[in-house]
Amino acid sequence: MKSYIAEFDTKEKPKDYYNKLLENLKEKNRELNAFNNFNDSLHGGFPFSVKDNICVKGVESTASSKILKTYKPPFNATVVERLQKNNFGFLGKTNMDEFGFGSFGINCEAPAHNPFNSDYVAGGSSSGAAIATAILKYHVAVAESTGGSISSPAAFCGVVGFTPTYGVVSRNGLIDYANSLDKIGFMARSAIDVRKVLNMSTGRDTKDTTSLDVRLTDEPKIQFSVINQLMNGLDGKIRSAFDKFLEKLKGMDYKVNYVDLKEIEAAIPAYYVISAAEASTNLARYTGFKYGFKVNDFSKKYNDFFTEARKQFGAEAKRRIILGTFVRSASVKNRYYIRALKVRAMLNEKMRRILRESFIVSPTMPITTPKIADIEKLSPVQNYALDILTIPPNLCGLPHISFPYDYIGGMPIGAQVIGEHFNDYAVISFVENWERKFKYKFRYNIGAL
């Protein structure tokens, strides 16, 4: 267990520390596409990066979408303000799947590359946040998850990724994907650093009516539940590494028990119906008038004008608009949207029952890190199916953490622990214990940073 934040405070820094950092990072970024832009005026504080769908005043914030090119928000997201007040210095905006639509960091203009091997994906949608955390020694990432966008890249890049209970971190300044699901969270190289940034960022914010003023708890559990249905679709190598991990848990005096939760199989369709429905209304505001890309030619006919603007969206964004508009249309909404809400409520109830007695644990992703070329071949439905382990806690607004626990073929793999609502510190504490017990050391380092 090591706090890079604490170490940084006490470390003597060479005069041109920040210039060197930016220089090295820009060089590395040519290969990995982790950052969309850099803050060249960074001269102090603990460096933090911000996912490109979170607003930083005066800095281009595009959510990696062409339609938001040139958009510079006139204000800071609350989370950015809070970190800056705690002597953190803004480093740059990180790459992502356009608006958060994706799990592999490739649904954008410049696909992200895994820092361990650039033929492989970095995960997504917070791809750049995870790469930055992997390659920078002194740094934390502000990221965002709607349905697994923190866990997935954290696992593929071998870093700790934490997603809080819904409402615990203000969403003010977030470019919305699906408001009832979006959560701002963090990535770091150790669990203790996640705890520190969470601590600085929580609390009621009058600018976000869904933000909450609750005391987060740290109630440990001695039992871990494994959901049988989630184990069925695992890649063989992931399964055997995970079985070894469960043995290690038992060695730490935790109990492991297997439970059935048949309904979890409905999590993916429910999630994609709800998230697309919300996304399709959120994306309606990008018309070529107000934010980012401007059409400017007012002699165009009505349809031509909007077509010109909205053809800036990438293929996945267009797919979500069409799907979302369909599922909430009057003639079918009971069949899709309303039914998906019922699935969500039922799953929430069942997961909470399991979580009263235990944490829920699983691998973070069902497959080992895939090659970029292989993911490009998948159909959308095959792609969505790979979210099966990360969607359930997101659909239910539950706090969860992904952390690296082993390597397969030189690439890191992650496990994910889910806790009860507002018991956020407990899942972080568990990972701290695990890091302490196994003397976990982060393996990747670009050296100079």
Q: What tokens does 224 get?
A: 């871990």
Instruction: Find, among 153, 122, 160, the residue nearest to 139 by Cα.
Output: 160
Q: Is residue 125 among the annotated active site residues?
A: yes
CA distance 301 to 442: 57
Nearest distance, CB of residue 317 and ligand GLN, angstroms: 11
Please tell me the number of Cα atoms within 13 Å of 6 on its side-chain side.
10
Name the residue nearer to ligand GLN (CB basis): 146 or 211: 146
Number of residues that bind ligand GLN (CB under 6 A): 13
- With CA atoms as reference, report the closest residue to 354 among 263, 266, 243, 245: 263
The 128-167 contact track toward ligand GLN, x by CB under 6 A, reads -----------------xxxxx------------------
Residue among 177, 186, 291, 337 that touches ligand GLN (CB under 6 A): 177
Considering only 92, 102, 167, 366, the residue that binds ligand GLN (CB under 6 A) is: 102
Q: Phi first, then psi: what are they for 192, rounded to 5°?
A: -65, -30
Q: Of 361-390, which residues contact ligand GLN (CB under 6 A)?
A: 387
CB of 411 to ligand GLN, least distance (A): 20
Catalytic residue among 49, 61, 103, 125: 125
In whole angstroms, the minimum distance from the beta carbon of 240 to ligand GLN comes to 26
Phi, psi of 9 (to 5 degrees): -60, -35
Stretch that binds ligand GLN, among 87-95, 98-106, 219-227, 303-311 (CB under 6 A): 98-106
| 193 near ligand GLN, rule: CB under 6 A | no
Tokens, residue 258: 């297997």
CB-wise, 53 or 201, nearer to ligand GLN? 53
**Please, which residue, 67 or 154, has the CB nearer to ligand GLN?**
154
- Residue 287 tokens, joined: 């018309």
Site for ligand GLN in 214-273 (CB under 6 A): none
> Which of 64, 172, 275, 358 is the binder for ligand GLN (CB under 6 A)?
275
Least distance in Å: CB of 166 to ligand GLN? Answer: 13
| Orientation angle between helical segments 267-282 and 315-327, nearest 10 degrees | 100
> Which residue is listed with tokens 């890309």?
293
> If residue 45 lies in a helix (H) or strand (E), which one and from where to where?
none
Given the complex with ligand GLN, which of 22 and 55 has the nearer CB atom? 55
Q: Which of 64, 149, 225, 275 is catalytic?
A: 149
149 is catalytic: yes
Four-residue CA torsion sign, 64, 67, 71, 76: negative
Binding status of residue 423 toward ligand GLN by CB under 6 A = no
Q: Does 101 bind ligand GLN (CB under 6 A)?
A: yes
Q: Quick one: 34 or 365, whose CB is closer to ligand GLN?
A: 365
Strand order in the sheet with 160-163: 35-38, 88-94, 46-51, 140-145, 183-188, 160-163, 400-408, 411-418, 359-363, 223-227, 255-259
| Phi, psi torsion values for 29, nearest 5 degrees | -65, -25
* 98 vs 205, beta carbon nearer ligand GLN: 98
Smallest distance, ligand GLN to C-beta of residue 159, A = 16
- Binding of ligand GLN at residue 100 (CB under 6 A)? yes
The distance of closest approach from Cβ of residue 315 to ligand GLN in the complex, given in angstroms and rounded to an integer, is: 13
CA distance readout (Å), 203 to 185, 199, 207, 365, 429: 13, 9, 12, 31, 20
- Run of H or E residues at 223: strand 223-227
Q: List the catalytic residues.
A: 51, 125, 149
Residues of this chain that bind ligand GLN (CB under 6 A)? 100-103, 125, 145-149, 177, 275, 387
